[in-house]
Amino acid sequence: MKNVLLCLVCCIALLTKTFGQLSIDTSITPEQLVKKFLLGKGVKVGKVTYSGNKLAIAHFVLTNTPLDIKKGILLSTGSVFNAIGPNTYPYTTTAFLDVKTQKLQKGDKDLNRIAHNYSYDAAILEFDFIPLNNKISFTYSFGSEEYPEYVGSRYNDVFGFFITGPKYRSKNIAILPLSFLPITVNTINQHQNKKGFIDNDIFMNEKPTKELPNQPKKKLVNGKKKSEVVEENKVEVLFDIDKKKEKKMNQALIQNLQYDGLTRALVAWCYVVPYQKYHIKIAIADVGDNSYDSGVFLADGAFNSEKDKRMPYFKDYADLSNKINFDSIFNPPPPKKGAVKIVQKPKINQDSIEQAEADFFLITNVNFETDKFLIPDSSKKHLAALVGYLKKHPLMKIKLLGFTDNQGNKEYNQKLSDNRAASVKKYLMDGGVNEKKITIDGFNFERPAASNTSEEGRARNRRVEISLNDEDELKAKSIKPKTIAAQRK
């Protein structure tokens, strides 16, 4: 009997590890993680599914640190145990293999869309839910080992909350505050939106094992990149500790978390229709390759719904939580035997069409010839459609971000990227779009979409990215419904 008890204790110890003040528990099922820990007030949850490696999801408890999130769910692109501090190594990583194919574990198409690149090692938690109120929200924090060396590169690890249901089709609600941009390594870091970023990097003199912008192409050794040979031979990456910086850093964070950088607690939210069935997908993945882990921390009890009277066109609604059979909504009964099944033509949902259009404009870039800021004819068809779309939606705003390849100096490319964004702005204005609805910015050769080591990659980098806000919430909250109706006439 003692031996049996000893075996049980050992098994539990393998599933739950505590180092310092961070504990990780992988023994809890995805359904329990959602219904017992993530779920807050005003939400009913149905079927829960998870796809990804079993070591990429866990419950965590993190105390005595400056982080706002102390406990909850951790989703990772590698082993969740790699998140445990102290931070002693700059490039902690796990590369998973697909169990069936024994090849690299693939990513997710929605993450590919918002990261503008291929993803790998995806961990995806999904579930159906019914909100009891008109607004839902999550609290979360994103961390990564890609910080700070690979900021601005194509290794742009990403995560998203994708909601599907009435008026939404795979809409990502994990975006930067007052912005349209997703949460990625390249959008929130030590340079961009740095007020929301926490630096946890104490290393210097590292030799990056992956290609960076402006870095010479790596030589092949027996047909393989030098970095691959290094990894195969398990040669340690050389680095030093920056003692001066270490003294200035938060020691509690360094001792408890391995990630070299992470965001402060952020809130993802959107308006919903009460008592309607929705589906949400919470996904995180490596981007560009499957190296160097990233993770997203979801706070316990953070998934809530609440009544928000500031919602545009808000109409009060009754509390039906004690009158509705939620099981019948999640699991509608099958048709009775012998019943004739009537096949109806699907009803066209205009809201879904408009959301699909918005998604299309969000991911369609305008690409340019070398040293040019003239809009190519191939892009004018898309821009003409965008003009029509913006005219039908006067509360929308659009952001144009100009980029270049890495040929030439920074000053020249800054002007070129500004001119490219300005040329797209002029095209939209000539079509009748209000200038006040358009903002532009130039990023020269920063944040490349592809490697600049090939002509194909440079062509992808000579671009203007179009971000479309499909719900101008700030303005909609401050304008009375009558005024909005008058604007749309």
Tens digits of residue pLDDT in 154-213: 888 999 999 999 989 999 999 988 777 899 999 999 998 989 999 999 998 777 667 665
Say which residue, 11 or 135, is predicted with more confidence. Answer: 135
Give me 440's structure tokens: 């532009």
Give me 2's structure tokens: 């003692």
pLDDT in tens, 341-363: 554 544 444 444 444 444 444 44
Beta bridge partners of 25: 16, 59
Name the segment(s) of the chain with CATH classification 3.30.1330.60: 352-488
Q: How high is the pLDDT of residue 220?
A: 41
| Dist CA 240 CA 238 (whole Å) | 7
On whether the 352-488 domain is CATH 3.30.1330.60, my answer is: yes
Give me 345's structure tokens: 């033509």
| Dist CA 322 CA 133 (whole Å) | 14
Phi, psi of 167 (to 5 degrees): 75, 0
At residue 235 the predicted structure's pLDDT band, cuts being 50, 70 and 90, is very low
In 3-state terms, what secondary structure has residue 435? helix
Q: Residue 74 corresponds to which amino acid?
A: L
Taking residues 31-56, report their average pLDDT: 95
Range name among 68-82, 113-127, 468-482 with the lowest pLDDT average: 468-482
User: Across the chain, what does the average pLDDT equal?
Assistant: 80
Say which residue, 24 or 8, is predicted with more confidence. Answer: 24
Taking residues 42-47, report their average pLDDT: 95
Ranked by mean pLDDT, the top range of 95-104, 194-203, 216-225 is 194-203
